[in-house]
Amino acid sequence: MKRGVLTLAAVAALWVLPAAADPAEAPADVFLATQGEDQFLARDLLLFAKVHNADGRIIGDIEDLILNGDNQVVGVVMGTGGFLGFGEKRVAVRLSALQIKNDDGKITVTLPQATKEVLDALAPFKRTKPPKSLVDRAIERAREFSDKSSVTAKDAYERAKEEAGPALEKAKESAKETYEEVKEKAAPAIEKAGEVAKGAYEGARNALKDKPEAETPSESKESTPEAATPETTAPAEPTPEEPATQP
């Protein structure tokens, strides 16, 4: 029984674990296998990084990157001022003006020229193209989810269809072996139980056969004396009293 349970668990795992397919050959000069020693990820280095002034105080945080026509980062958009995101002003800073230091894995971004007076005097950054609306973002998100889900579901179905066949056959054979093994081990117990039940039945039948028959109500009823019937003859007439003799 334990073997059958383990087999079924292994079959179920095949539906979750990815298939070990042969990797396709990647085209040259398209993908990067690893991060280079002189390369950084924008989320680790710039995006959402805190920007300090010359005194080491935080004056803002980087919210976005500015790219040119060659897809090169030329500047960043920094949010400054305000309180908890309210009343915040966004200003753009050239990438070359930022001093980025990496001290034992700790990234520090500094903008020495950013004094309070300079930041207050700056006009907010203007963008020429409006940002995507919430509706546009929702549509893109829904399409992305639909595309990814359809591909994932199709791949999972094909993979399961291809791999589940031999696994199910193996599980079927294992279940059959387990059934035969249980049947073989349980046969003596079942036969013994049958003999015990048969002996109990024979004993009960013999006990009923040897028991004296119960007396019927007519036979067990004791005979009762017949009730005296009243006489049908009239009582004897009283004899007249003899007259008293006179002296």
What does the pLDDT average to over 187-201? Answer: 82
Is the pLDDT confidence value at 216 over 60? Answer: no
Digit-coded pLDDT (tens) for 218-240: 554 454 555 454 554 555 555 55
- Expressed in angstroms, the distance from the first to the final Cα of the chain is 131
What's the pLDDT score for residue 182?
79
What's the pLDDT score for residue 27?
84
- pTM score of the predicted model: 0.46
Distance CA 182, CA 187 (A): 8
- Cα 43 to chain centroid, rounded: 33
Structure tokens at 87: 């009343």
What's the pLDDT score for residue 235?
53
Residue with tokens 């007249």: 240
Query: Residue 66: in which H helix or E strand, if any?
Result: strand 58-67
Q: How many CB atoms lie within 10 A of CB 163?
A: 16
Alpha helices in 134-233 (DSSP H): 134-210, 217-220
Is the pLDDT confidence value at 10 over 60? Answer: no
Cα distances from 232 to residues 228, 229, 237, in angstroms, run 12, 9, 15
What's the pLDDT score for residue 11?
47
Digit-coded pLDDT (tens) for 29-49: 888 888 888 877 888 888 889
What percentage of residues in the chain have a pLDDT greater than 90?
A: 22
Is the pLDDT confidence value at 247 over 50? Answer: no
SS3 219: helix
Greater confidence (209 vs 69) lies with 69
Domains of the chain and any CATH numbers = 33-129 (2.30.30.240), 132-203 (no CATH)
Please answer whether residues 42 and 109 qualify as being in contact, where contact means their C-beta atoms are separated by less than 8 angstroms.
Answer: no
